[in-house]
Amino acid sequence: MSLFSQDSDASFFDFLLRQRPDLAPGGLGPIRGSWGMAQEERGGASVLPVPIGTTVLALKYEGGVVIAGDRRATEGYQIADRRIEKVFTIDDHSAMAIAGAAGPCLEMAKLFQTELEHYEKLEGVQLSCEGKANKLGQMVKANLPMVFQGLVVVPIYVGYDLRRTEGRIFKYDITGGRYEESDYYAIGSGGKEARSTMREHFRKHLSEADALRIALSALFNASEEDVGTGGPDLIRGIYPTAKVVGAAGIKDVDEPRIADLYKALIAERKKET
Amino acid sequence: MPLPYYVSPEQVMQDKAEYAKKGIAKGRSIVAMEYEHGILLVADNPSASLFKISEVYDSIAFSGAGKYSEFENLRKAGIRHADLKGYTYSREDVTARSLANAYSQSLGTIFSQELKPLEVEILVAQVGEGTQANEMYRISFDGSIIDERRFAVIGGRSEAVQIFLKDRVSEPVLTLKQAFALCVQSLDSVTNQKLQPEGLEVAILDRTRPGRKFRRLLPPESSQLLG
């Protein structure tokens, strides 16, 4: 008998890989074969017709981090969904936003939520902010086989580090590489545009309201330049979503507040033109 | 060739049961009691970090009495069962009944097949959503399962505590304060000493909380509640 056996591990993700690989991301189960076959049948086309999620960003303010994302999912040149959610509450002090293939993205968010809750229940304490960020990196790495099938999942993770008493932003690459950002970051097809807006307006020690305004205008600019990113939809009343992570925990920014901010932003731009 | 000694199955089972009961009786008791907004769990536990009561899922709590290493393993297995079920299906599909059944199966198998039975008694409690009734299951070392109403006691001198509570839990709905006072009195009565809030592990399943209903009451809060 080995001491400290694998079974005493507090990770739900590892448990799933061992016990139910068919449910784990990364196509370690029978899914892998069927996808591979489907691809060959289509003559080796590398892009699958799956909904793709688009601009998400995170921005630090004085007491934490604002994380926001647009609502559009596209499938080729079609809009697959107008009100998809790309920003997820993970636990009391962290959130993640994802760009990539919608299905695997949603799966990873759900698995990461379960992972952190599982650890907390088994060990009696929460993982550190650093620990959570590293674990997410391993999950992204496990998805690597699916990347070659065109199913990319790239997250941004934000958390409030209770030990350091500051908000933190982590970005990832497809191999699970984890990089910490000091001020702001955006990913997705409109990420570049959003980053340039934030570069222009970002200052250290922003207030929460200013950070939110910059985040929303960055998403607005991204939607103007990128077909894959949805702007505020005034007809249907669909607006990007945002969450604020601070020392007191995570809270959603109410839709009416976002709608008002967008109305003000649009009025301002009308004046300028 | 010497023949192996014959021991009747009855004798084997009786010996095992006696062994397990002795192990469980050595420990201290844990009481679970329904109150107006959920279920209160109180354990006589001098340690502030080695827990006997724990969260399993949104509305489900676990508590174990007997040998720590054994019920700790059962607790972890329960959390894995619940999280896997919630992940595969939906959060609302995780129920105390299915968890209690799984425990009952495992404990029953171990009791009949292994040389050494587990010296544990466990309790699985689920607070009902809205107007739904609460559920409390007491599972013994041999896998027998008992569906309890109003209150449940495991470990230590559990029978004495049960007798103490039987006549006293009469009011239809107790407030948290009343239920807590009664739980502490019942534990006091079998230990013949006044238990201090620092020596108690207290947790509630509070149905008024959104999401995860489990919450620990730390000594400052529990001593205030005890008044």
A110 touches B: beta carbon within 8 Å: yes
Average pLDDT of chain A is 87
Neighbours of B116 (CB within 10 A): 12
pLDDT tens profile A113-170: 999 999 999 999 999 999 999 999 999 999 988 888 888 899 999 999 999 999 999 9
Contact A67, A56 (CB under 8 A): yes
Determine the average pLDDT of the residues in B136-163: 94
Query: Helix H segments across chain A?
Result: 12-19, 31-41, 102-123, 129-142, 144-147, 191-201, 208-225, 255-272
A148 touches B: beta carbon within 8 Å: no
Shortest distance, CA A147 to any CA of chain B (angstroms): 23
A53 — pLDDT class (breaks 50, 70, 90): low
A203 touches B: beta carbon within 8 Å: no
pLDDT tens profile B43-87: 999 888 899 999 999 999 999 999 999 999 999 999 999 999 999
A142 φ, ψ to 5°? -65, -20
Q: Which residues of A165-200 are buried (b: 16+ CB within 10 A; e: fewer)?
A: ebbbbbbbebebebeebeebbbbbbbbebbbebbee
Contact A159, A249 (CB under 8 A): no
Q: Please report how many Cα atoms fall inside a 13 Å half-sphere around the Cα of residue A199, on the Cβ side.
A: 7
Q: Kindly report the CA angle at B220 between B214 and B223, in degrees rounded to 5?
A: 95
For A38, the token pair is 């489907």
The pLDDT of residue A42: 39
- Contact between A111 and B87 using a beta-carbon 8 Å cutoff: yes
- Contact between A117 and B56 using a beta-carbon 8 Å cutoff: no
The minimal CB distance from B87 to the residues A114, A121, A122 is found for A114
pLDDT tens profile A168-217: 999 999 999 999 999 999 999 999 999 999 999 999 999 999 999 999 99
Residue B118 has pLDDT above 60, yes or no: yes
- Contact between B54 and A124 using a beta-carbon 8 Å cutoff: yes
The pLDDT of residue A147: 87
The pLDDT of residue A150: 83
The minimal CB distance from A124 to the residues B51, B56, B88 is found for B51
Determine the average pLDDT of the residues in B92-118: 94
A273 noted as active-site residue: no
Determine the average pLDDT of the residues in B145-162: 93
B171 — pLDDT class (breaks 50, 70, 90): low
Residues of chain B positioned with their CB less than 8 A from the CB of A121:
54-56, 79, 83
Shortest distance, CA B75 to any CA of chain A (angstroms): 8
A75 — pLDDT class (breaks 50, 70, 90): confident
Cα–Cα distance measured from residue B93 to residue A249, given in angstroms and rounded to the nearest whole number? 28
> What is the radius of gyration, based on Cα positions, of chain A?
19
The pLDDT of residue B130: 83
For A193, the token pair is 């545009």
A18 touches B: beta carbon within 8 Å: no
The pLDDT of residue A128: 95
> What is the radius of gyration, based on Cα positions, of chain B?
18
Nearest CA in chain A to B212: A117
Cα–Cα distance measured from residue A53 to residue A100, given in angstroms and rounded to the nearest whole number? 5
pLDDT tens profile A8-45: 588 899 888 888 888 887 655 444 433 333 334 434 44
> How far, CA to CA in Å, does B204 sit from each of B138, B196, B213?
17, 18, 8
A121 touches B: beta carbon within 8 Å: yes
Average pLDDT of chain B is 92
**Chain A contact probe: residue of B83, B90, B99, B215 with most A CBs at under 10 A:** B83
- Contact between B80 and A15 using a beta-carbon 8 Å cutoff: yes
The pLDDT of residue A22: 84
3-state SS class at B118: coil
Q: Please report how many Cα atoms fall inside a 13 Å half-sphere around the Cα of residue A251, on the Cβ side.
A: 10
The pLDDT of residue A21: 85
The pLDDT of residue A48: 53
The pLDDT of residue A38: 39
Shortest distance, CA A235 to any CA of chain B (angstroms): 33
Determine the average pLDDT of the residues in A217-235: 93
Strands (E), chain B: 30-35, 38-44, 53-57, 60-66, 120-126, 135-139, 145-148, 151-154, 200-206, 214-217
ipTM of this predicted structure? 0.91
Set A54, A55, A74, A89: catalytic member: A54
Shortest distance, CA A190 to any CA of chain B (angstroms): 32
